[in-house]
Amino acid sequence: MGCRRRSLRRRHRGCRQWADGGCCRRRSLSPARSAGYQGNSALSGAAILTAEEMRAAEQAIFDSGVAPYALMETAGAAAADVIWRAGGVRDTLVLCGPGNNGGDGFVIARLLKARGVPVRVAATGESKTDSSQKARRAWAGPVENIADAAPATQIVDALFGIGLARGLDGALAQRLGELVDAAERSYAIDVPSGVDTDGGVLLSPVPRFDLCIALGALKPAHVLQPAAGTFARLICADIGIGANDAKAFLLTPPDLAEPAPDAHKYTRGLVDIVAGTMAGAGILAATAAAHAGAGCVRHLAPEPTSRLPNAVIMVTAPDAGAVTKALQDERIASVLVGPGLGRSDEARKRLSAAVTAGHPLVVDADGITLLEAAPDMLPVGTIITPHEGEFSRLFGEITGNKIDRAREAARRMGGVVVYKGPDTAIASADGRIAVWHGGSPWLSTAGTGDVLAGICAARLAVTGDPFLAACEAVWLHGEAARRAGAAFIADDLIAHIPAAVAARTQ
């Protein structure tokens, strides 16, 4: 495939997603704001720090003269405040582990008790860090053994945080599960005990908590599955951590602009969809693109179809030569290839025609599979939208969590990777990463990926900025799904895209 590498920064407007949208600023929720928290989307733009990055951020605070125990008091106070607001004076059992997470637990217990909450504490054994020993001494009440501690209306899990090195012992994991199941409300301090902070996997069985109170910053386990599925709600409590060195951020809702007063359909963006033999997918993508802000959409398919909206221009392109010819149009602002393309030799030629046409490009589905482990064949700045299977086929084994894998994949291909799933990592070759999570699980239905690819192509045509376009598209897709409610099909989802666009248009 004779691909040309070129920059797509033709109409770069600056990545507002990054510069103004909050991604580069720390916006942890203060405890007061946390109390009104209704859903994960409220955490937009928050930094996501690995355990190592978190320790470095904490160290920076210590270096500035704050004592470790003072930071633990701040963390415990922030968490206790959230629990107090959520649970009032319900009887509470705080489970404390051997490290600083356990130390937070002792602070929480003391502060809740001071507010009149009936609190008991149960520990795994000795407290092993200076700060946690200090916090334990300040508790001054009895410390029960977890194995035989009676259940309580509220359970606070302060067993292990970012220092968990391996799964919990079987008996401890089981006891934690029993106590959480028996409680009306359960809170995990920093991360649920048993999750791997960076990997986002479960190292031992983890019960489902009502609320996870992240301390200082989000960690990968708060946004990556399966760990992010171990709590119903998430709050990030501000403890003064600076997250300037963060490399990954939560996806922030986009700020979209209305078309210019003198806009016409071509200045708003002409999108060409290079479709193939499986008609439905290309139609979904074209219809979605037409609803996501593009000025004009053309559907280049081997055969005519009566199933396109009237607004989409149908171009019959029976072979790759016809595709190449159709794409020789200077007005084209983006091309999407892949949905419904098929995997035949003819499909391969159509892919080649799209890739070599020299327009800003989005590659999805069969287009990704046909690349056959050669992502660097794509023009610089291309957006690809693989799900797990397509990602593995294209990039093989890459170590690390989903964020790391997306980052490395984007570097290898020199473009933007939208690594899809219940958690979606959007990575740019220049190192920027935004993570979307907490979306409607009803999205797990056939054809929604085609819809996303169409939205990506539309936003690329509108913005000319691949990373911005991908971020906007993922957010709009998720928001359309939220508005679509339950048991929608991909066709239904499209009807909700304009409302999602309207919600973010100034």
Ligand X SMILES: Nc1ncnc2c1ncn2[C@@H]1O[C@H](COP(=O)(O)OP(=O)(O)O)[C@@H](O)[C@H]1O
Instruction: Name which position in 22, 118, 163, 240 contacts ligand NAX (CB under 6 A).
Output: 163
Q: Closer CB to ligand X, residue 150 or residue 446?
A: 446
Query: How many CA atoms, within 13 angstroms, populate the side-chain half-sphere of residue 226?
Result: 10
- Chain center to CA of 495: 24
Minimum distance from residue 225 beta carbon to ligand X (Å): 8
Selection from ligand X, K ion, ligand NAX, none that 446 binds (CB < 5 to 8 A by kind) is ligand X
Instruction: Name which position in 42, 49, 71, 308 contacts ligand NAX (CB under 6 A).
Output: 71
Q: Are 501 and 293 in contact (CB under 8 A)?
A: yes
Selection from K ion, ligand X, ligand NAX, none that 166 binds (CB < 5 to 8 A by kind) is ligand NAX
**Should residue 189 be labelled a site residue for K ion when binding is judged by CB under 5 A?**
yes
DSSP category for residue 273: E
E strand or H helix at 386: none
Instruction: Name which position in 75, 183, 289, 470 contacts ligand NAX (CB under 6 A).
Output: 75
End-to-end CA distance of the chain: 42
From the list 320, 274, 358, the residue with the least C-alpha distance to 4 is: 358
From the list 151, 233, 153, 154, the residue with the least C-alpha distance to 192 is: 233
Sign of CA dihedral 369, 372, 376, 379: negative
DSSP category for residue 301: E
**Should residue 220 be labelled a site residue for ligand NAX when binding is judged by CB under 6 A?**
no
Give strand pairing partners of 215: 237
**Should residue 192 be labelled a site residue for ligand NAX when binding is judged by CB under 6 A?**
no
Name the segment binding ligand NAX (CB under 6 A); options: 69-77, 294-302, 462-470, 496-504: 69-77
Minimum distance from residue 456 beta carbon to ligand X (Å): 10
Give strand pairing partners of 36: none
Name the segment binding ligand X (CB under 6 A); options: 128-136, 270-278, 394-402, 444-452: 444-452
Q: Residue 262: how many CB atoms within 10 A of its CB?
A: 6
Q: Residue 483: how many CB atoms within 10 A of its CB?
A: 16
The annotation status of 163 as a binding-site residue, yes or no, is yes
The annotation status of 130 as a binding-site residue, yes or no, is no
Name the segment binding ligand NAX (CB under 6 A); options: 7-15, 146-154, 164-172, 365-373: 164-172
Instruction: Name which position in 215, 327, 434, 501 contacts ligand NAX (CB under 6 A).
Output: 215
Q: Tokens 């593009």 identify what position?
A: 294
Q: Are 154 and 93 in contact (CB under 8 A)?
A: yes
**Should residue 41 be labelled a site residue for ligand X when binding is judged by CB under 6 A?**
no
Instruction: Name which position in 369, 424, 428, 463 contacts ligand X (CB under 6 A).
Output: 424
Q: Report the SS3 class of residue 424.
A: strand
**Should residue 447 be labelled a site residue for ligand X when binding is judged by CB under 6 A?**
yes
Selection from K ion, ligand X, ligand NAX, none that 422 binds (CB < 5 to 8 A by kind) is ligand X
**Should residue 439 be labelled a site residue for ligand X when binding is judged by CB under 6 A?**
yes
Q: Are 191 and 219 in contact (CB under 8 A)?
A: yes
Site for ligand X in 60-89 (CB under 6 A): none
Task: Give the helix ranges, DSSP H, for 388-489.
Answer: 388-395, 402-413, 448-463, 466-484
Selection from K ion, ligand NAX, ligand X, none that 193 binds (CB < 5 to 8 A by kind) is K ion
Torsion of the alpha carbons at 207, 210, 212 and 218, rounded to the nearest 10: 100
DSSP category for residue 140: -
**Should residue 129 be labelled a site residue for ligand NAX when binding is judged by CB under 6 A?**
yes
The annotation status of 477 as a binding-site residue, yes or no, is no
Annotated binding site: 100-104, 157, 161-167, 190, 193, 281, 340, 387, 420-424, 449-450
Which residues carry a binding-site annotation for K(+)?
101, 157, 193
Query: Which residues form the interface with ligand NAX (CB under 6 A)?
Result: 58, 68, 71-72, 75, 97-102, 104, 128-129, 131, 160-168, 189-190, 215
